[in-house]
Amino acid sequence: MNQKEITERESYQKLVEERAPKSPLVMDCLKAFLVGGLICLIGQGVSDFGEYVLLLEGESIPAFTAIVMVFLGALLTGLGVYDKIYQFGGAGAAVPITGFSNSVVSPAMEFRREGLIMGTGAKMFTIAGPVLVYGIGGSVIAGLIWLMIR
């Protein structure tokens, strides 16, 4: 690429950046806060239900909460509602565990037509896979460091 072409590319990319409509950052943050907060509020309600109504104890309370929230995320994905919540709430719907559930269930549904093995089975973790790889990998490394310094 000669100097003229590089200049042309740079000036075009600058023009695109100037002209491109920007995301409404403040509004998006507010929506994410509301949706994320609401999901966490429901999660807290489930947790309290486990603790005070079902009389669960210790680590079984967060486990119960996670199971129920993952189920709700999967159910809303199957009913075709979760993607609409996400469109409104953005990261507020992505970060809670319900978002993780959505990212596993949606490819499982989408690729069902390619069969249970090479479709659902193989494609189920195409989106959530990296979260698992680096989440589990990161926790192993953190565990080893903790083992060495404590």
Partner 1 sequence: MADNKASQILLAPNRTGAQTLIFHNRPAIASCAAIAGDMEGQGNFGEHYDLILEDDLWGEDTWEQAECKMFEEVVRLALTKENLSVEWVECLFGGDLLNQIISANFAARQLQLPFLGLYGACSTMAESLLISSALISGGFLSCAACAVSSHFCTAERQYRFPLEMGTQPTPTAQRTVTGAGCTILVQEGSACAKNVVVTHGTIGKVMDLGITDANNMGAAMAPAAADTICAHLADTGRSMADYDLIVTGDLGCLGSQLTRELCLKKGVDLGDKYFDCGERIFTAAQNVKAGGSGCGCSAVVLNAYLLKELFSGVYHRILFLATGALLSPDSSQQGESIPGVAHAVALECC
Judged by the rule CB under 8 A, the positions of this chain that interact with partner 1 are 8-9, 12-13, 15-16, 19-23, 28, 77-78, 80, 82-83, 85-87, 90, 93-94, 99, 102-103, 105-107, 109-111, 113, 127
Comparing CB distances to partner 1, the nearer of 51 and 110 is 110
Residue 126, Cβ density class (10 Å: 0-12 exposed, 13-18 middle, ≥19 buried) = middle
Closer to partner 1 by Cβ: residue 20 or 117: 20
CB-CB neighbours of 110 under 10 Å: 14
DSSP 26-85: HHHHHHHHHHHHHHHHHHHHHHHIIIIIS---TTHHHHHHHHHHHHHHHHHHHTT-HHHH
CB of 38 to partner 1, least distance (A): 15
Query: Can you give the length of the chain in residues?
Result: 150
We find the least distance from the C-beta atom of residue 42 to partner 1, in angstroms, to be 17
Count the neighbouring beta carbons within 10 Å of the beta carbon of residue 135: 12
Q: How far is the CB of 45 from partner 1 (least distance, A)?
A: 22
Q: Which is nearer to partner 1, 109 or 131 (CB)?
A: 109
CB of 124 to partner 1, least distance (A): 10
As a whole number of angstroms, the distance between CA 9 and CA 2 comes to: 11
CB of 41 to partner 1, least distance (A): 19
| Residue with smaller CB distance to partner 1, 2 or 23 | 23
Is the CB of 20 or the CB of 147 nearer to partner 1? 20
